[in-house]
Structure 1
C-alpha cells in the first residue's frame, strides 16, 4: 500500500486518520494476462489503483475492438461512467499483463468522501486528471494525422510501445496495423 499512498500524497497531503481509513478500505487483487476487470453490460462497483501491470479499455464497434485507453502502474482505473452512475458499462477493461491492483468499493469510497474532506479533494483531483487525459485523446483523434498521433505517442508515452501489442496500439491510434507498420518505418 506504500506505493498507493506515496502516489496519493503527490496529489494531496492526507492526515494520518485519512490514511488509516483508506488503508482499511482498500483490498489487494491479482489478475492474469487477458483476464477482464469489467465487460460491457456489467456495472462497475470499484475504483482501482494499479500497483503493477497494464490494462486497456476498449469497446466493440462494428464487430471491431476499439482500444481507447491504457492504464499502467500508479494509474487509477475504472469504467468511470458506470462507477459514477451505477449503469451498465459499454466498455471492456482487459489486462494486457498480469497485474496487482488495490480496489475500493463505491460504497466504501462514498462513506470516506462524506467523512473526510481531504479524500473528497483527492478524488476530485484524480477525476480532473482523467478528464484532461480524455480531452487530450479527443483532440489527438480529431485534429492530428495518424503520423502525428504516433509521434505524439512515442514522445509522451514510449512505455506503451514497449509493453502493448501492436494491434492494440493501432486500434488506439485509429489506424490499421499495416498503416502503423508503414508509419513506424518512417521514424
Structure 2
C-alpha cells in the first residue's frame, strides 16, 4: 500500500516487513488539489510528508516579494524542517503546485517511534543528514556559482523541472529575474541543438 514510501526509505535503511507494517498503521495518506496550503507561514510544522505524486513549493517573503525557497517532487520528504525540528513558527509557506498524493506522519508519532526502536532513530538521522547536505549545496551554489552555473546544475539534477514548475518560480528559486532565466534557457537550448 505504501510501496513508494518504503522504496524511498530503503535508500537509507532496509525496513523489515514488521517495521513496514508498524509504519503503515501510523502514517496518514492524503490527496490535495493544486494550490492547497500544506503549511502556513508562522505556524509550527507538525507533519513530515512524503510526496507520492505531484509537486510542492516552499515560499518565503522578502520586502513583500514572494521567493521560492525550494521545490518538493515525487519521492521527496518535505516539511518546514526548521519549524518541525525546533518547534518554532515556520519561516515559510508550503503550497501544492499540482494535484498531490502525500503520506504524512506527525511530529508526536515520529518522537514515539524514535523512543521505541533504534532503527527509526537511525532512519531519522540519515534523512536529516541528507536534508542538511542538500541545504549546504544550495547555499554554496547561491554563494559561489554564476547564474548560468546554477541553471545548469538544476537541469543536471532535474532535467524535467520546467515541465513541473513555472518559469517565474524557478527564476525566484535560482535568485534571478525571470528575463535573465529566459535568456539562459535560450542559450542552453541553443547549446543543446549544436551538441546534438
Q: Which residue of 1 aligns with 2:157?
A: 156
Verify the 8 A CA contact 1:18 1:119 in the aligned structure 2: no
Confirm whether residue 72 of structure 1 aligns to residue 59 of structure 2. no
Report if the CA contact (8 A) 1:58-1:91 is conserved. Answer: yes
CA distance in 1, matches of 2:161, 2:135: 17
Number of equivalences: 187
Q: Is the 8 A contact 1:18 1:116 kept in 2?
A: no
Give the secondary structure class of the aligned counterpart of 1:11. coil
Q: What residue in structure 2 maps to residue 128 of structure 1? A: 129
1:51–1:73 Cα contact (<8 Å) kept? yes
> Shift of the alpha carbon at 1:179?
0.8
Residue deviations 1:46-67, cap 9 Å, x none? 1100110000112000111111
Distance 2:82 2:156 in 1: 29
* Aligned residue runs from structure 1 range 1-187, under 5 A: 1-187=2-188
Shift of 1:85: 1.7
- The runs of 5 or more residues in structure 2 that have no matched partner are 189-196
TM-align CA RMSD? 1.0
Q: Which runs of 5+ in 1 are unaligned?
A: none
Distance 1:10 1:152 in 2: 23
How far is 1:16 from its partner? 2.8
Offset at residue 10 of structure 1 (A):
2.1
Kindly provide the CA deviation profile for residues 8-61 of structure 1, in whole angstroms up to 9, marking residues without a partner as x. Answer: 122101233322221111010111111110121111101100110000112000
Deviations 1:133-182 (A, max 9, x none): 11110011011111111111111211212211001000001001111111
Q: 4+ residue runs of structure 1 moved beyond 3 angstroms?
A: none
C-alpha distance in structure 2 between counterparts of 1:162 and 1:183, whole Å: 17
Tell me, in whole angstroms, the C-alpha distance in 2 between the residues paired with 1:115 and 1:17.
14
User: Once the two structures are superposed, what CA deviation does each residue of 1:77-117 show, in whole Å capped at 9, x if it has no partner?
Assistant: 00111111211111011111110000011111110111111
Kindly indicate whether structure 1 or structure 2 has the higher relative contact order, using CA contacts under 8 Å at least 6 residues apart: 1
